[in-house]
């Protein structure tokens, strides 16, 4: 069938937004809830019952990211060559088991082991889902698609904050892990019956729509054919300077993200002297702001093609708000406003950032590249919470927050140093025009 009569204004993209994004988003939300519920459990009684210091709390929050390293590259490769659907399905089973077991621990060392194992179980998730998104969304839409999926962070925060505060208030911190772990079982059933790895496998899509997607994505690959990393080995990709810039950027960014996320309830409790239930409600607004920020910057990036700029600007805003949250702490509401500002910028750069690997590497290599960038970059997820915990123990909360602001400023600098080819306008338009190569 001649697909020149189809354009991006008809049902082809609209169906994908409603059929593919929701199950991926829901699976990501449940993973993030399992990841960050410890942030509420600690000030909600876990630290006191298990005798956990600030340093140990930071270690428990951060050790997740050591385990997170192991399945990053394998996950990306499985999504490219095998089935991301099956990978995430088995991951959901593991998340459920580990979360429930966390609810029955008796000492801090069991907590460390289970947090590490949870990191292993969640390690392949992001490169897998980003690869699945790249199988369904051309470059011109990928920034928005990535942003919606990565929106699992603020959505999970909006759900987790009041839910965690309520569960801990009504029951206790142990039931927080057990209940949220059981939610993974329900999400697993949704996942199995709704998601497809590629357009070729979906039963709901027409032959014409399928051909349009396959040809559009193939056109993008033809546009980057001949680049140095087209068929390169992973070792060759790792020798690329830009690859290490992306890793460094992601490292400093994740240091700020997870330092903020895992210590936000504790910071709010100290700032406002509120109960854990009230803290849960106060923690909602930063994540509401995060949704607005992600939509704004991903829209501007897709519209202008300026990927570098709309990675850099949110990072600068995040760093500034982090600094102001301490500088203005004599006024509780001004400091809280700055923390909400942190939330607005929290994930605003993420959706745009993850469009860049697909512009630099072939589809085959992009899965592994995402895994390496996410694996090494997410070591910042270990360093952020742990550094804040150590600085709180040795100095004060303020020192920990200033550390996060400096890290985010370094991430913004890394964004400025990225090459021009990261911007959409620097690539041939061929890959973005579905009619150019139409049959």
Q: What is the pLDDT along the chain (439 residues), one digit of tens a residue?
A: 333 333 444 445 467 788 888 899 899 889 888 888 888 888 888 988 998 888 888 888 878 888 887 876 777 678 777 788 899 999 999 999 999 999 999 999 999 999 999 989 988 888 888 888 888 888 777 777 877 887 787 888 888 888 888 999 899 899 999 998 899 999 999 898 888 888 888 777 777 777 778 888 878 777 765 544 444 456 766 777 888 888 999 999 989 888 888 888 888 888 888 888 888 888 888 988 888 898 888 888 888 888 888 999 999 999 999 999 988 988 988 999 999 999 999 888 887 888 888 777 766 676 667 778 877 887 887 888 888 888 888 888 788 889 999 999 999 998 988 887 777 655 433 333 433 333 3
Does residue 61 contact residue 344 with C-beta atoms inside 8 Å?
no
Rounded Cα gap, residues 332 and 317, in angstroms? 20
Q: What is the pLDDT of residue 233?
A: 57
Assigned domain for 436 exists: no
CA-angle at 130, arms to 357 and 223, nearest 5°: 45
Q: For residue 397, which of 278, 270, 273 has the smallest C-alpha distance?
A: 270
Q: What is the pLDDT of residue 236?
A: 63
The pLDDT, as a whole number, for residue 406 is 93
Report if residue 205 sits inside a domain: no
Q: Is residue 330 part of a domain?
A: yes
Any domain includes 160: yes
Full 3-state SS string of the chain: CCHHHCCCCCHHHHHHHHHCHHHHHHHHHHHHHHHHCHHHHHHHHHHHHHCCCHHHHHHHHHCHHHHCCCCHHHHHHHHHHCCHHHHHHHHHHHHHHHHHHHCCCCCHHHHHHHHHHHHHHHCCHHHHHHHHHHHHCCHHHHHHHHHHHHCHHHHHHHHHHHHHHHHHHHCCHHHHHHHHHHHHHHHHHHHHHHCCCCHHHCCCCCHHHHHHHHHHHHHHHHHCCCCCCCCCCHHHHHCCHHHHHHHHHHHHHHHHHHHHHHHHHHHHHHHHCCCHHHHHHHCHHHHHHHHHHHHHHHHHHHHHCCCCHHHHHHHHHHHHHHHHHHHCCCCHHHHHHHHHHHHHHHCCCHHHHCCHHHHHCCHHHHHHHHHHHHHHHCHHHHHHHHHHHHHHHHCCHHHHHHHHHHHHHHHHHHHHCCCHHHCHHHCCHHHHCCCCCCC
CATH number, position 171:
1.20.1250.20
Q: CA-based diameter of the chain, in Å?
A: 69
For the chain, the domain total comes to: 1
Residue 323 within any structural domain of the chain: yes
Answer yes or no: is 223 within a domain: no
- Torsion sign over Cα 348, 54, 375, 323: positive
- Res 432: pLDDT: 36
- Within a domain: 206: no
294-297: which pairs have CB atoms within 8 A and are 24 or more residues apart?
Answer: 294/147, 294/148, 294/150, 294/151, 294/154, 294/347, 294/348, 294/350, 294/351, 295/147, 296/348, 297/147, 297/348, 297/349, 297/351, 297/352
Domain holding 387, by residue range, is: 12-198+232-427
pLDDT of residue 344: 92
Q: What is the pLDDT of residue 112?
A: 92
In a domain, 169, yes or no: yes
CA 82 distance to own-chain centroid: 22
């Amino acid at each position: 069938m001649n697909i020149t009569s189809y354009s991006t204004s008809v049902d082809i993209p609209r169906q994908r937004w409603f059929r593919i994004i929701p199950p991926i988003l829901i699976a990501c939300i449940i993973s993030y809830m399992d990841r960050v519920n410890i942030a509420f459990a600690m000030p909600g009684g876990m630290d006191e019952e298990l005798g956990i210091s600030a340093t140990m709390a930071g270690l428990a929050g951060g050790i997740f990211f050591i385990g997170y390293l192991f399945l990053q590259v394998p996950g990306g490769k499985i999504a490219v060559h095998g089935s991301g659907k099956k990978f995430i399905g088995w991951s959901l089973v593991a998340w459920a088991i580990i979360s429930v077991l966390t609810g029955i621990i008796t000492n801090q060392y069991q907590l460390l082991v289970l947090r590490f194992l949870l990191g292993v179980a969640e390690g392949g998730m992001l490169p897998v889902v980003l690869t699945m998104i790249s199988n369904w969304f051309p470059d011109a839409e990928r920034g928005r698609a990535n942003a919606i999926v990565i929106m699992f962070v603020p959505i999970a925060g909006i759900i987790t904050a009041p839910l965690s505060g309520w569960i801990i208030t009504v029951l206790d911190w142990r039931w927080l892990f057990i209940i949220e772990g059981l939610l993974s079982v329900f999400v697993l059933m949704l996942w199995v019956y709704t998601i497809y790895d590629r357009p070729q496998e979906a039963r709901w899509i027409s032959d014409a729509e399928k051909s349009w997607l396959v040809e559009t994505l193939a056109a993008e690959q033809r546009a980057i054919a001949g680049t140095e990393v087209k068929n390169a080995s992973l070792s060759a990709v790792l020798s690329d300077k830009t690859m290490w810039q992306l890793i460094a950027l992601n490292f400093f960014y994740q240091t700020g993200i997870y330092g903020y996320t895992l210590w936000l309830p504790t910071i709010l409790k100290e700032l406002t002297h509120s109960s854990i239930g009230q803290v849960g409600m106060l923690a909602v607004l930063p994540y509401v702001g995060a949704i607005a920020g992600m939509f704004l910057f991903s829209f501007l990036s897709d519209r202008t093609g300026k990927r570098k700029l709309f990675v850099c600007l949110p990072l600068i805003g995040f760093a500034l708000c982090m600094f102001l949250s301490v500088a203005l702490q004599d006024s509780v509401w001004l400091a809280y406003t700055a923390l909400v500002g942190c939330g607005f910028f929290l994930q605003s750069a993420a959706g745009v950032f993850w469009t860049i690997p697909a512009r630099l590497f072939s589809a085959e290599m992009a899965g592994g590249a995402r895994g390496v960038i996410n694996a090494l970059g997410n070591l910042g997820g270990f360093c952020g919470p742990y550094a804040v915990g150590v600085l709180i123990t040795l100095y004060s909360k303020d020192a920990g927050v200033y550390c996060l602001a400096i890290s985010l400023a370094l991430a913004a600098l890394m964004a400025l140093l990225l090459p021009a080819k990261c911007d959409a306008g620097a690539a041939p338009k061929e890959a973005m025009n579905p009619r150019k190569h139409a049959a």
